[in-house]
Amino acid sequence: MATFNNTDLAAFKDVWVFCEQRQGKLMPTDFELISEGRKLADELGVQVCGLLLGDGVDGLARELGGYGADKVYVCNSPLLKDYTTDGYAKVVCDAVESRKPEVVLFGASTLGRDLGPRCAARLHTGLCADCTHLDVDMPIYKDFLRENSTLPSERIEGVKTAKVLGQDHDVSRDLKMTRPAFGGHLMASIICPRFRPAMATVRPGVMKKAPFDQKKADACQIVALDVALTREEIHTEVLETVKAAKKLVDLIGADYIVSVGRGIGKDVEKGLKLAEDLAAELGGVVGGSRAVVDAGWLSADHQVGQTGKTVHPKIYVALGISGAIQHKAGMQDSECIIAVNKTPTAPIFEIADYGICGDLFKVTPLLTDAIRAAKAAK
Amino acid sequence: MKIIVCVKQVPDTSGKVAVNPDGTLNRASMQTITNPDDLNAVEAALALKDTTGCQVVVVSMGPPPAEGMLREVLARGADEAYLVSAREFGGSDTFATSQIIAAAIHRIGVGEGDIVLCGRQAIDGDTAQVGPQIAEKLHIPQVSYVADIQMDGSTVTCKRILEDGYMTVRTQTPCLLTCIKELNTPRYMSVPGIVGCYDKPLTVLNYEALKDEPLIEVDTIGLAGSPTNILTSFTPPQKGAGMMLEGDGKETCEKLAGLLADKHII
Amino acid sequence: MPYTDFALDRQHEMLRSMYREFAETEVKPLAAEIDETERFPMETVEKMAKLGMMGIYFPKEYGGAGADVLAYVMAIEELSKVCGTTGVVLSGHTSLCCAPIFENGTEEQKKKYLPRLCSGEWIGAFGLTEPNAGTDASGQQTTAVLDGDHYVLNGSKIFITNAGVANVFVVFAMTDPSQGNHGISAFIVERTFPGFSVGKPEKKMGIRGSSTCELIFEDCIVPKENLLGRENKGFKLAMCTLDGGRIGIAAQALGIGEGALDETIAYTKERVQFHRRLSQFQNTQFQIADMAAHLQAAQYLVYAAACKKGQHLPYSADAAMAKLVAAETASDVTRRCVQLFGGYGYTREYPVERMMRDAKITEIYEGTSEVMRMVIASSLKVN
């Protein structure tokens, strides 16, 4: 067995979170990860530390404390103003090699998924992509399995060790990184038993953000790290960063679709407005059944179904759509179908995950408000 | 100038996915396809070939039947293929895989003027890690999530997609780019391409061929050597039959919003 | 028997998957629209040209793709599964124009015409049928008179597939009216030849996107070197060409039937009546089983005829059997499919009504089913 400098596992401690900032603003995922890191650090009995890179970003550090960071390492350099793989990877790897954290978490953003693998390869350790659940403590992990898997309980009870290089390895102190695979049809819990740090990218929006605590923010220790980085070490150059004015979404690519059917006929204008409001709240677009398009209430590019478009959004809300077979053909593979219809026997309810039997003109605005409130509470 | 494209044969997860009772994937019941993002990488390479006449070499790591997929890429217009295939390589995680593919690319040779293209991610693992890790092992710069490529001599300018916009990034060859579907529309195989695809060179690189490559650490390849291990794999509980909510008022809507929030889909 | 050995090899499987992806992505979305508007799908021809589909089984030296006849019929089959029009566009071009030039042309004619046809730069057509010479093709009234270095053609041809868009036509005319069948000759006519014109398109029941028009010859000047084959040997050339064309039409019929069955299987798994999916009713199961069995039988006949042609074995009766069975199966299958769809099947919301209309022509053109029976009986010396 070759010897690497990261096999003395006991030398590594603390949970680190790479805190991504863009144009001097922290990302929401940073708070989620600090909160989750706090939980893991408590299970391990170590500290959770933020790692913040940028140019003059000291001012951002304290807020991370408010979500549970014991310490924030700040690396400032004009060379870190824009994200570059080479520059950020060098600074992150230098910090990890000198301070030896046990766990490093990255947000699975398009930049986190660029930086994480580059660092893991350089640090010679494992990286688990796009995790949706993290555990250390075995009883907590087993509770998670009981609730979220179809594994028989004796299998769950038996989770203790893993075969590592032919030996039984006790996984009780390993980070269990759970992620979906094969398009979500399978879940897998991954460990990184031989090397440190154990690294993961974590899907944005999944981990719960802790409530902000000003006392903790005040107590957070901010540590500036020296940056040893030269321009010659960066082989890419960011010419410009452009924010899209408005994210253009079509029906097929949309994550959220609110579709209307003949049921809006009572007051077409109002029905469409209510659908648009709900779609706007969800961050999606409005679609329609064939009946609505044939009636000229929506243009043909809105049509979902056999002769329209086939869609598979995260949420498909069917308002006043009966669910004729040719409509179902276009939307039945949606991740979650919500149907609102006055007729309790409407076929749409047969394929809906959630059905509300009621008048769409009454239900839709209430639903929009409830979703707004639920999002605000997160 | 040559372009090396990494492609992977994957189970088609867009259709019905069968899972064995033990929680592993029933691969035998599934169709295999060329990973969709990889086809965008292939197309980018072929488009550069159309304008510059460069050579396009495809590399895949996988079991022997992956040759069929490589022939299909040759039928689209690639010039040469390498299949990295050995029992010792099986079960590799992204770290181990990137090490082996980097060794294969090193063997093929990547130098001034050359580009390595990968798909952003494969639909079986969805990790997006192998591309950047190959770049690290080869000590070349990377640009990921690429939606446009402009070549000017040895300068490569890419449109690099972000969640809420994009960056324009400039680098030099040799470099590695990971491609997304917005980059292009992959061409079809052509009839003459299919007729000629078995006459093009295809080389199998097995364990013997690669084990002495400097990039290979024999302790960190394959299932046993991979830094990460699968502790458990399982299927999530089946989606229950539809649920009719009681009532049609404010509380009903709040209950529904709560359920959606719990499922993290809003 | 080598010619029935069409257990598909890897390359034919690749071809099929390529054709299928192309048909699903590029052809299917246009099928209803070109039927509705009677529009020729030129953009599809341009796309097929890029993929080498306009000269699939001709050698590379003439600009072909270098594949075989089986590869060609599979293309027509896959296109016709989603669009019968596109199937016949390719069949007319390949079997009725490229093939007679390749099989009968001089080296100069082949070098002049095949590369442009196979690349799709030019589209090909075939003109034999006349107002008074349908199934009885010997009654040709178009005449060709040699005048120095050219022939002068007079007369007209009707129901000519691809006519409105074709650049090159293989046409037949009487060079010696006193000799009947033995006085017919074949010519390669370019659209730009003086005295040649194309009439207005026919209004058809099916394959409505294909361009079917009249050809008019008014003192049309055709250079002497455009005589195809030998003078007065045109009737045999026409009959041999149609033998090959019938394999293409048989593949079109097969594809239409298979496409209708695919649509019907999907529909019967979704449609619920009496609280059961249609697919759970035994009537549905038996209907689908019958249709699948007949389609597979037709497929074997079509592939066998294609393999025989590809291996230069006699295939005239095989082609007739393939077309007879495939065409009648297509008509029967599409009619049954419409029935299984019920009222929806009769509407243009679903494609099976179009497929039913498209299927009918395969029993008529390039020799009616009755002519196929005549060819088969004659091959058995029952006369």
Q: What is the extent of the structural domain holding B70? A: 2-225
Q: Residue B197 has what DSSP assignment?
A: G
A217 lies within 8 A of chain B by CB = no
Q: What angle do CA A351, A355, A356 make, to 5 degrees?
A: 155
| Residue B34 domain flag | yes
Phi, psi of A271 (to 5 degrees): -60, -45
Cβ-defined contact of A329 to C344 (cutoff 8 Å): no
Residue pair B12/C17 in contact (Cβ under 8 Å)? The answer is: no
C4 band by pLDDT with thresholds 50, 70 and 90: very low
Question: Distance between CA atoms of C338 and C332, rounded to whole angstroms?
Answer: 10
Share of chain B above pLDDT 70, in %: 94
Question: Distance between CA atoms of C163 and C108, rounded to whole angstroms?
Answer: 24
Identify the pLDDT of residue A128. 97
**Residue range A9-233 in CATH 3.30.565.10:** no
Average pLDDT across chain B, whole number: 92
C14 lies within 8 A of chain B by CB = yes
Residue pair C185/C175 in contact (Cβ under 8 Å)? The answer is: yes
Chain A hits for B260, CB-CB cut-off 8 Å, are 315, 336, 371, 374
Does residue B241 register a pLDDT over 90?
no
| Residue B110 domain flag | yes
Residue pair C72/C15 in contact (Cβ under 8 Å)? The answer is: no
Q: Which of C8, C10, C14, C79 to mutate: most B Cβ within 10 Å?
A: C14
Identify the pLDDT of residue B182. 87
Average pLDDT across chain A, whole number: 91
Residues 353-372 of chain C with CB under 8 A from chain B are none
User: Taking phi first (over 0 means left), then psi (-120 to 50 degrees means alpha), and beta for anything else, what does residue A277 get?
Assistant: alpha
Q: What angle do CA C248, C262, C78 make, to 5 degrees?
A: 30
- For chain A, the structural domain boundaries read 9-233, 256-377
Question: Distance between CA atoms of B184 and B203, rounded to whole angstroms?
Answer: 28
The CATH number for B108's domain is 3.40.50.620
pLDDT tens-digit map of A39-74? 999 999 999 999 999 999 999 999 999 999 999 999
Question: Distance between CA atoms of B175 and B117, rounded to whole angstroms?
Answer: 9
Beta strands, E only, chain A: 15-19, 21-22, 25-26, 48-54, 71-76, 103-107, 127-131, 133-135, 161-164, 167-170, 176-181, 186-191, 198-202, 221-224, 236-243, 256-260, 285-288, 315-319, 336-341, 354-357
Q: Which of B32, B69, B190, B194 to mutate: most C Cβ within 10 Å?
A: B194
CA atoms within 13 A on the CB side of B153: 1
Identify the pLDDT of residue B84. 98
Does residue C43 register a pLDDT over 50?
yes
Strand order across the beta sheet in which A103-107 lies: A127-131, A198-202, A103-107, A15-19, A48-54, A71-76, A221-224
Nearest CA to C241 out of C89, C96, C58, C57 is that of: C96
Cβ-defined contact of B169 to A236 (cutoff 8 Å): yes
Phi, psi of B68 (to 5 degrees): -60, -40
B30 lies within 8 A of chain A by CB = no
Does residue C3 register a pLDDT over 50?
no
Average pLDDT across chain C, whole number: 95
Residues 112-141 of chain B with CB under 8 A from chain A are 123-133, 135-137, 140-141
Cβ-defined contact of C51 to B68 (cutoff 8 Å): no
Identify the pLDDT of residue B240. 54
How remote is the C-alpha of C306 from its chain's centroid?
13
**CATH class of the domain whose range is A256-377:** alpha beta
Distance from CA of B160 to the nearest CA of A (A): 9
Average pLDDT over residues B170-197: 96
Tally the domains of chain B: 1
Identify the pLDDT of residue C345. 96
Fold for the domain defined by C2-118? Butyryl-Coa Dehydrogenase, subunit A; domain 1 (1.10.540)
Complex ipTM, two decimals?
Answer: 0.93
Identify the pLDDT of residue C270. 80
In this structure, the dihedral spanned by the alpha carbons of residues A60, A66, A69 and A72, taken in order and rounded to 10 degrees, is 20
Identify the pLDDT of residue A244. 75
Chain C hits for A328, CB-CB cut-off 8 Å, are 270
B193 lies within 8 A of chain C by CB = yes
pLDDT tens-digit map of A151-170? 899 999 999 999 888 889 99
- For chain C, the structural domain boundaries read 2-118, 124-234, 236-379
B120 lies within 8 A of chain C by CB = no
Residue pair A264/A320 in contact (Cβ under 8 Å)? The answer is: yes
Instruction: Enumerate neighbours of B (3 or more CB pairs within 8 A).
Output: A, C
For chain A, residues with pLDDT lower than 70 are 1-5, 183-184, 245-249, 307
Q: Residue A309 has what DSSP assignment?
A: B
Question: Distance between CA atoms of C201 and C161, rounded to whole angstroms?
Answer: 10
B43 lies within 8 A of chain C by CB = no
Question: Distance between CA atoms of A301 and A304, rounded to whole angstroms?
Answer: 9
Burial A46-79 (b: 16+ CB within 10 A, else e): bbbbbbbbbeebeebbbbbbbbbbbbbbbbbbeb
pLDDT tens-digit map of C69-123? 999 999 999 999 999 999 999 999 999 999 999 999 999 999 999 999 999 999 9
pLDDT tens-digit map of B51-67? 999 999 999 999 999 99
C369, containing H or E segment: helix C369-379
| Residue B7 domain flag | yes
What CATH number labels C124-234?
A: 2.40.110.10
- Block residue for tokens 């824009």: A82
Q: Which of C18, C27, C54, C73 to mutate: most B Cβ within 10 Å?
A: C18
Counting DSSP H helices and E strands in chain A, the numbers are 12, 20
Identify the pLDDT of residue A303. 86
Instruction: Enumerate neighbours of C (3 or more CB pairs within 8 A).
Output: A, B
**Residue range C236-379 in CATH 1.20.140.10:** yes
Write the secondary structure of C120-163 as one string of H (helix), E (strand) and C (coil): CCCCEEEECCECCECCCCCCCCCEEEEECCEEEEEEEEEEEECC
pLDDT tens-digit map of C70-79? 999 999 999 9
Identify the pLDDT of residue B14. 62
B135 band by pLDDT with thresholds 50, 70 and 90: very high
Nearest CA to B78 out of B56, B96, B97 is that of: B56
The DSSP bridge pattern shows strands B80-84 and A25-26 to be unpaired
User: Which has the minimum average pLDDT: A171-175, B28-32, C230-234, C348-352?
Assistant: B28-32
Residue pair A318/A304 in contact (Cβ under 8 Å)? The answer is: no
| Residue B105 domain flag | yes
Encoded tokens for B32: 């295999």
Question: Distance between CA atoms of C59 and A145, rounded to whole angstroms?
Answer: 62
pLDDT tens-digit map of C337-378? 999 999 999 999 899 999 999 999 999 999 999 999 999 999
